[in-house]
Amino acid sequence: MKLKITSILKISLPLLLGVFLVWYSLSQISIDELVEYFKKADYTWVFLGLFLGFLSHLSRAYRWRFQLEPLGYKIKLGNSIMAVFATYLINYTIPRAGEVARASILTNYEGVPFEKGFGTIVAERIADMIVMLVIIAITLFLEFDFIYGFLIEKFNPTKLIIALGLAIVLFVFALRFIKKGKSKLALKIKDFVNGLIEGAFSIFKMKKKWAFIFHTLFIWAMYVLMFYVTSFSLEQTSSIPFAAILIGFIAASFSIAATNGGIGSYPEAVVLAFLLFSIPEDPSRAFGWIMWTSQTVMVIIFGGLSLIYLPIFNRK
């Protein structure tokens, strides 16, 4: 019974949050005004952003083959590409169901055992998480003065130092708890961290490790560039500082995990990030909707075509 309730909540809560955030976002800007922003947008930049996003998906599909080769499976590139697009589309319905579907597609059409296919996807996510953390670290390093100045301006310096001290103490305590703890929670966290470390080091044991690392960096470079070039589609966001782009990109990336495919949460995450740089809400919100809508349309088209064409492509 508890498992059923948990499963229902995992599916329903992100969906309800997404619906609420769509309502909230559209209550902050009139539909007519949002449509006007869409009409005035320079779609040359939007399509360039889509092209960069498309390249990142192709690179992800190509990279996946490097992980499967050491396991003895040389899958067709077409199946890999269609499985990736199908993953993104299915994730709009049930969070993380796309990863399960992606491994299942390999099982059905390439004969790769589900647990092996799913294991490579987990390792891939670990690599992506590491790159995301590196992007955050670079952003913090490049924009340290701005972030420090913002925190000092918004928060009392004494309280900030106390909060930082408490955070360090809690972090050290948490490390000791995880290292020496025997509770279920401590063991789960320990297993998760060990899995991350093992997954990260497994990359360097690959036959084509440098190709894998190159494609990983290429994927995330395309993500950032996609966000950056699309900002030129609106006059009001065309001259914003690159720091705003980086922080906006990070916020938007995390928002995708909050709701199904970032529905509702994506534009609002962009607004919150851009507000740090005193960029007006309406164009920020419009930019967020243009970004999310363009990427969603691409996923729906190519993901839908992939699900239709997969059985035809593999009929022999």
* DSSP secondary structure, 268-311, as one string: HHHHHHHHTTT--HHHHHHHHHHHHHHHHHHHHHHHHHHHHHHH
Q: For residues 170 and 104, what is the distance between their CA atoms, to the nearest angstrom?
A: 41
What average pLDDT is seen over the chain? 84
Would you state the pLDDT for residue 277? 87
The pTM for the full model equals: 0.83
Would you state the pLDDT for residue 9? 65
pLDDT in tens, 33-69: 999 999 999 999 999 999 999 999 999 999 998 888 8
Q: For residues 67 and 209, what is the distance between their CA atoms, to the nearest angstrom?
A: 9
Q: pLDDT tier at 269 (50, 70, 90 boundaries)?
A: very high
Q: pLDDT tier at 271 (50, 70, 90 boundaries)?
A: very high
| Amino acid letter, residue 170 | L
Q: Are 74 and 68 a contacting pair, CB within 8 Å?
A: yes
Q: For residues 144 and 34, what is the distance between their CA atoms, to the nearest angstrom?
A: 34
Would you state the pLDDT for residue 196? 58
Q: For residues 104 and 118, what is the distance between their CA atoms, to the nearest angstrom?
A: 8
What string of H, E and C letters represents the secondary structure of 40-102? HCCHHHHHHHHHHHHHHHHHHHHHHHHHHHHHCCCCCHHHHHHHHHHHHHHCCCCCCHHHHHH
